[in-house]
Structure 1
Amino acid sequence: MRQDPVLEVEDLHTHFFTRGGVARAVDGVSFSLHRGEILGLVGESGSGKSVTGMSILGLIDPPGRIVSGAVLYRGENLVAAGEKRLRQLRGNRIAMIFQDPMMTLNPVLSVETQMVETVLAHDRVSREQARERAREALARVGIPSPDERLAAYPHQFSGGMRQRVAIAIALLHQPDVIIADEPTTALDVTIQAQILFEVQKLCRETGTALVWITHDLAVVSGLADRVAVMYAGRIVETGTTVEVIDHARHPYTHGLLGSVPSRNKRGEPLAQIPGMTPSLLGLPEGCAFQPRCPRATAACLALPPLSGGDHGWRCFHPQEAAA
């Protein structure tokens, strides 16, 4: 019998109240995550992926606000939790890896100080034990001479090395959930493959659940167990990786897959999705994708529901499920 989800996001709405109007960055997002499961959250820039991740940890600052919905960690609603409780969970049971490592690292403190203090903030261990854990974490993400690098400061690392340090910090407590916001964008393909291998190994061995936020479908296809495709703040298709990648139904998912270079013939122009992502301050009526969709009809002026089942899509005119 399958265990209860470790993380459940239920009808989450996060809005930004600006002078130009209300931007509905996250508009009714729902998904669940079990122990050891990896969910790929995919979409173009501005689709609401990062705001969804930040909302889970309560990191939305004014003028943004979670206006409704629930984020359940082991049954506890984090939307209603106080700041003290969230600080107990952040970096300990739920960790986040940011796209920009300098959002994690303090430029005036050595790497050793930052990693040791992270360990001591949640665990009662000696400083020497905390330092050894930090050294092992650096070695795990492929940083050479970890003892020497512990004494260095963030500005003494390259951008890719800083990102590896940020990933190592997220792994320190072997959290129940990791939210990774495009953490390998700045890394070369060799180190990216190493990080992906370590992340999969961590999830398999410790039961850590992972939300991997990305626009790179190639990474998702080899990493995630399930995929959720986002567009304009909503999930438009979700299912197992095999179902979504090989049997996509939503036209937007087809557009993303068609624009992957490996799916195009040599010498031919890359396929493109026409138009631009709509402004969240003025979303079109009904389906947000309909102005760019080749299958749109008058029915698309109403908001399509997300179909039921393990493989769901939000479309009145889904494409045929063909590999």
Structure 2
Amino acid sequence: MSPPLLELRGLKTGFPTRAGEVKAVDDVSFTLKRGKVLGLVGESGSGKSVTGFSIMGLIEPPGRISGGQILFDGIDLAKLSREEMRSLRGRRIAMIFQDPMMTLNPVLRIDTQMIEAIAAHEKVSRAEARTRARDALAQVGIPSPEERLDAYPHQFSGGMRQRVAIAIALLNKPDLIVADEPTTALDVTIQAQILAEVQKLTTERGMALIWITHDLSVVSRLADDIAVMYAGRIVEYGTVADVIDRPLHHYTAGLIGSVPSRNKRGSRLAQIPGMTPSVLNLPEGCAFRTRCAHADAACEATPALVAQAGHLHRCFHPLREVAA
């Protein structure tokens, strides 16, 4: 059995404030193998994006990784210097941001930006780098790639800019890509095209992919495994089939129930009551208990991540026990 490409062990990432430390990521663990896709799901503020930025070494001070390990191909990324991390980032590990303009410089042509991304890690001629850039644009479905290399970012539509951002992430054939909600702002048709392209590239190249999103319908089509995050912690973790079809945590069930396609026509859209608590001042015990109809005195203790029915959950009253 092949070892995982990426393994997080008890990752903790915090941001100190005058009121105390914000525990944005608190004891997160998961594994990811080559050629597999992990969907990291949760509401805004659940810690999923900070998890991605922690893996990439993009946590800016005073924020810091305060505990745990990020093992990438046996290397603990949390212990690398900025220079060592920079040599990996863009070459073996790449990131696709939610807003492509965070990746693209508006005053530089696309070919300039793509050639620089290659030259930062390899000594190749400009002609060879341009050829690779053109091929990468063609691979993500951009028509007339040779001509589009000479264009500026503002000359592309939002969907095309995101395709360019994906092409840049793929330039150096990384082993791992972290995608932070890259299709959220796109229309459904373009989103479906990009998802199909990413899935094909992951399979063909044997890359590992972390897809960060709040949209369960997206990861149900794309991912192999799903980790559901709430208030900085993973509350449910397993295969797509197990988590989507047989959820155990009430938060996961609430996310699934709020997807419009699962509601009957004419009925009110289901929603999770209350608001996500501040990670600076979480309730004692289970962080979800203030929004859960099944919470009782037992939930005032902190639940552990336990195995049941083939996957992991963090709940004292999992759905199957409540249903029974």
Normalised to the residue count of structure 2, the TM-score between the two structures is: 0.96
Answer yes or no: is the 8 Å Cα contact 1:163–1:186 preserved in 2.
Answer: no
Read off the aligned partner of 1:111 and give its amino acid letter. Answer: I
- CA RMSD, Structure 1 to Structure 2 (Å): 1.3
Percentage of identical aligned residues: 69
Read off the aligned partner of 1:152 and give its amino acid letter. Answer: A
Deviation at 1:29, TM superposition (A): 0.3
Task: Quote the Cα distance in structure 2 between the aligned partners of 1:148 and 1:113.
Answer: 13
Task: Quote the Cα distance in structure 1 between the aligned partners of 2:145 and 2:62.
Answer: 41
Answer yes or no: is the 8 Å Cα contact 1:290–1:300 preserved in 2.
Answer: yes
Task: Quote the Cα distance in structure 1 between the aligned partners of 2:162 and 2:185.
Answer: 8
Q: Who is 1:55 aligned against?
A: 54
Answer yes or no: is the 8 Å Cα contact 1:91–1:170 preserved in 2.
Answer: yes
Q: Who is 1:180 aligned against?
A: 179
What aligned pairs does 1:22-37 form with structure 2 within 5 A after superposition? 22-37=21-36
Task: Quote the Cα distance in structure 2 between the aligned partners of 1:191 and 1:123.
Answer: 32
Matched residue of 1:27: which SS? strand
Deviation at 1:253, TM superposition (A): 0.3
Task: Quote the Cα distance in structure 1 between the aligned partners of 2:300 and 2:224.
Answer: 33
Post-superposition CA distance 1:170-206 (Å, at most 9, x none): 1112210000001111222222222112211122121
Answer yes or no: is the 8 Å Cα contact 1:13–1:66 preserved in 2.
Answer: yes
Q: Who is 2:157 aligned against?
A: 158
Q: Who is 1:318 aligned against?
A: 318
Number of positions where the alignment pairs a residue of Structure 1 with one of Structure 2: 321
Read off the aligned partner of 2:75 and give its amino acid letter. Answer: E
Task: Quote the Cα distance in structure 1 between the aligned partners of 2:167 and 2:280.
Answer: 37
Normalised to the residue count of structure 1, the TM-score between the two structures is: 0.96
1:204 aligns with 2:203: yes
Q: Who is 1:12 aligned against?
A: 11
Q: CA, structure 1 residues 4+72, in 2 after alignment: closer, same or farther (shift >3 Å)?
A: same
Q: Who is 1:40 aligned against?
A: 39
Q: Who is 2:147 aligned against?
A: 148
Structure 2: runs of 5+ lacking an equivalent: none
Moved more, 25-34 or 312-321: 312-321
Deviation at 1:76, TM superposition (A): 0.7
Answer yes or no: is the 8 Å Cα contact 1:12–1:26 preserved in 2.
Answer: yes
Matched residue of 1:187: which SS? coil
Read off the aligned partner of 1:315 and give its amino acid letter. Answer: C
Answer yes or no: is the 8 Å Cα contact 1:111–1:151 preserved in 2.
Answer: yes
1:122 aligns with 2:113: no
Read off the aligned partner of 1:78 and give its amino acid letter. Answer: L
Answer yes or no: is the 8 Å Cα contact 1:10–1:71 preserved in 2.
Answer: yes
Answer yes or no: is the 8 Å Cα contact 1:141–1:194 preserved in 2.
Answer: no
Q: Who is 1:290 aligned against?
A: 289
